[in-house]
């Protein structure tokens, strides 16, 4: 059930209405049933896989809390290995088999291993990481083991963030399912305004940019350097509008019922460095990797510069593999790991002042765009071919610009389509710049006003109807 479908609109209204109509003791049950229904609307049978991981982590959490020493660590490792094994079978088995066969072929062997025909369950990487955060926090003593199986199941399955995050921590979310949330106009309008902004970013920005990106990357060998450059810029716009839009809808839907989910994006394209970019982009994943991969890698040896750089590279390799079972994602993770090491070494050479700030911002955006070529390409050879074509075959002649614009629709309406896309995208970033600086109507006293939020909801939904793609489309991060 896609957030952008009419089915979800009806689902959201019914679930929210029932949540406030039911007595407090029945609310978690209704939310759990609704979340199961939401997940089963994609591929019903895969709820059984989700149930397996829930049972494993629920049981191990209790065992971990009641154990000490070696047995405690054994239970933790068993939980991590069991949960990750499910993820491996569905997401990584074929990748490792095919990669192993290529390596064996280079060594003169010709193994013929069977390939899996299983389809990756939607959101498996997200709720795997959410389940892992629970058992790790119980092991560390930061979270008591949840004895109520239904409440723990709801922690993993809570429908707003079930399939694409934010990846929550038990300390933030679990206790909220036991709290009595009274109906609040402030929560209602605050949540709806976030949802409206999310729908605007998804349906007006991301879905308008997608056709151009798909056309250029789908036939990249026949596309010019300028077309591929424009498509890469639009992909940066598309994936941000798509994923940040999903996060806004998820956080807003939860807020209407009184739940607070963590912020997942904080205007990442205004970053002046790659380190800052990763503090602003997909925050729930970045902080997860920091807490559960980067920091534990230091072990008991203390924090040193070489260990710091080593851990960064390893962490981003894990991030790349988490995103997809493809060498493009592994290379993408390695790319960012190496960039962050270089940035850390070169940090002392940066000057101060407005000129340096603009230069740092421009370099960060260039690095991000190169990374998105790796992220969007289907293979490393395609990524290299696209980067090479952009570098050597980009010109700004009248004919090349005309062809780049015509790629939008292929007819005389292309100029209007491109102009509208650019204007709406510019509007989004102007709004974000005003949010960033908290100027004019985006000062806290206005943004927190119910009246201001109501006006925002009306205007944004009108923009969605007038300019958005009203056909329900999937979100990019569903594939992860």
pTM score, two decimals?
0.92
Q: Are 198 and 246 in contact (CB under 8 A)?
A: yes
In order along its 480 residues, the chain shows pLDDT tens digits of: 888 898 999 999 999 999 999 998 899 999 999 999 999 988 888 899 899 999 999 999 999 998 888 899 999 999 999 999 998 988 888 888 888 878 887 777 777 778 888 888 888 889 899 999 999 999 999 999 999 999 999 999 999 998 887 999 999 999 999 998 999 999 999 999 999 999 999 999 999 999 999 999 999 998 899 999 999 999 999 999 999 999 999 999 999 999 999 999 999 999 999 999 999 999 999 999 999 999 999 887 778 888 999 999 999 999 999 998 899 999 999 999 999 999 988 877 777 777 888 888 999 999 999 999 999 999 999 999 999 999 988 888 888 888 888 887 777 677 888 888 888 888 898 888 888 887 777 777 777 788 888 888 899 999 999 888 878 788 888 777
What is the pLDDT at residue 416? Answer: 83
Rounded CA separation 241/264 (Å): 13
Q: Is 148 a catalytic residue?
A: no
Quote the pLDDT of residue 265.
94
Residue range 339-385, pLDDT digits in tens:
999 998 887 777 777 788 888 899 999 999 999 999 999 999 999 99
Compute how many other C-beta atoms are within 10 angstroms of the C-beta atom of residue 336: 25
pLDDT tens column, 300-312: 777 888 899 999 9
**Residues 275, 249, 257: CA angle, nearest 5 degrees:** 115
Report pLDDT digits (tens) over 249-263: 999 999 999 999 999
Q: Which two tokens stand for residue 242?
A: 């798509």
Element (H, E) at 217: helix 207-218
Name the phi and psi angles at 179, rounded to 5.
-85, 150
Structure tokens at 214: 């798909």
Alpha-helix runs per DSSP H in 257-304: 274-280, 283-289
- CA 291 to mean position of chain CA atoms: 18
Q: pLDDT tens digits, residue range 140-158?
A: 999 999 999 999 999 999 9
- Cα atoms in the 13 Å half-sphere on the side-chain side of 12: 23
The angle, 0 to 180 degrees and rounded to 10, between the axes of the packed helices 207-218 and 225-256 is 140
User: What is the chain's length?
Assistant: 480
Catalytic residue among 175, 180, 267, 323: 323
Q: What is the pLDDT of residue 412?
A: 66
Q: Which residues contact 347 (CB under 8 A, 6 or more apart)?
A: none
Q: Concatenated DSSP letters for 365-428?
A: HHHHHHHHHHHH-SSHHHHHHHHHHHHHS----HHHHHHHHHTTTSSTTHHHHHHHHHHHHHHH
Q: Which residue from 165, 154, 37 is spatially nearest to 146, judged by alpha carbons?
A: 154
Is residue 474 within 8 Å of residue 210, measured between CB atoms? no
Q: How far apart are the first and last CA of the chain?
A: 17
């Amino acid at each position: 059930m896609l957030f952008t479908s009419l089915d979800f609109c009806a689902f959201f209204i019914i679930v929210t209405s029932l949540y406030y109509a039911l007595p407090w003791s029945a609310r978690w049950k209704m939310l759990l049933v609704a979340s199961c229904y939401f997940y089963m609307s994609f591929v019903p049978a895969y709820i059984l896989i989700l149930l397996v991981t829930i049972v494993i982590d629920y049981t191990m959490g209790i065992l971990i809390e009641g154990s000490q020493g070696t047995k405690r660590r054994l239970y933790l490792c068993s939980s991590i290995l069991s949960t990750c094994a499910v993820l491996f079978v569905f997401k990584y088995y074929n990748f490792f088999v095919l990669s192993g066969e290529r390596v064996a072929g280079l060594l003169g062997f010709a193994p013929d291993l069977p390939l899996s025909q299983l389809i990756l369950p939607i959101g498996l990487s997200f709720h795997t990481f959410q389940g892992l955060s629970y058992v790790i926090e119980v092991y560390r003593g930061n979270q008591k083991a949840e004895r109520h199986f239904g409440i723990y199941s709801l922690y993993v399955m809570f429908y707003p963030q079930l399939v694409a995050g934010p990846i929550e921590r038990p300390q933030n979310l679990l206790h909220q399912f036991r709290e009595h949330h009274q109906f609040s106009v402030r929560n209602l309008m605050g949540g709806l305004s976030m949802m409206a902004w999310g729908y605007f970013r998804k349906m007006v920005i991301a879905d308008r940019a997608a056709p151009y990106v798909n056309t250029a990357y789908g036939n990249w060998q026949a596309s010019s350097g300028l077309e591929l450059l424009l498509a890469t810029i639009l992909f940066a716009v598309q994936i941000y509008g798509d994923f940040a839009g999903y996060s806004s809808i998820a956080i807003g839907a939860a807020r209407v019922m009184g739940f607070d989910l963590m912020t997942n994006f904080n205007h990442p394209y205004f970053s002046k460095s790659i380190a800052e970019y990763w503090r602003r982009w997909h925050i729930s994943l970045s902080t997860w990797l920091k807490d559960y991969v980067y920091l534990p890698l230091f072990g008991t040896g203390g924090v040193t510069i070489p260990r710091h750089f080593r851990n960064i590279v390893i962490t981003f390799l894990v991030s790349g593999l988490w995103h997809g079972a493809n060498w493009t994602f592994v290379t993408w993770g390695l790319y960012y790991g190496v960039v962050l090491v270089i940035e850390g070494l070169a940090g002392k050479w940066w000057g101060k002042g407005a000129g340096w700030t603009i230069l740092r911002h421009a370099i960060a955006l260039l690095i991000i765009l190169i990374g998105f070529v790796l992220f969007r390409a289907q293979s490393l050879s395609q990524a290299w071919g696209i980067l090479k074509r952009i570098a050597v075959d980009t010109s700004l002649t009248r004919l090349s610009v005309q062809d780049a614009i015509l790629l939008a629709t292929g007819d005389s309406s292309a100029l209007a389509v491109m102009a509208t896309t650019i204007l709406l995208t510019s509007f989004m970033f102007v709004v974000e710049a005003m949010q960033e600086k908290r100027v004019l109507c985006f000062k806290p006293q206005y943004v927190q006003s119910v009246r201001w939020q109501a006006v925002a909801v009306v205007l944004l939904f009108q923009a969605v109807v007038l300019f958005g793609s009203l056909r329900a489309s999937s979100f990019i991060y569903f594939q992860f």
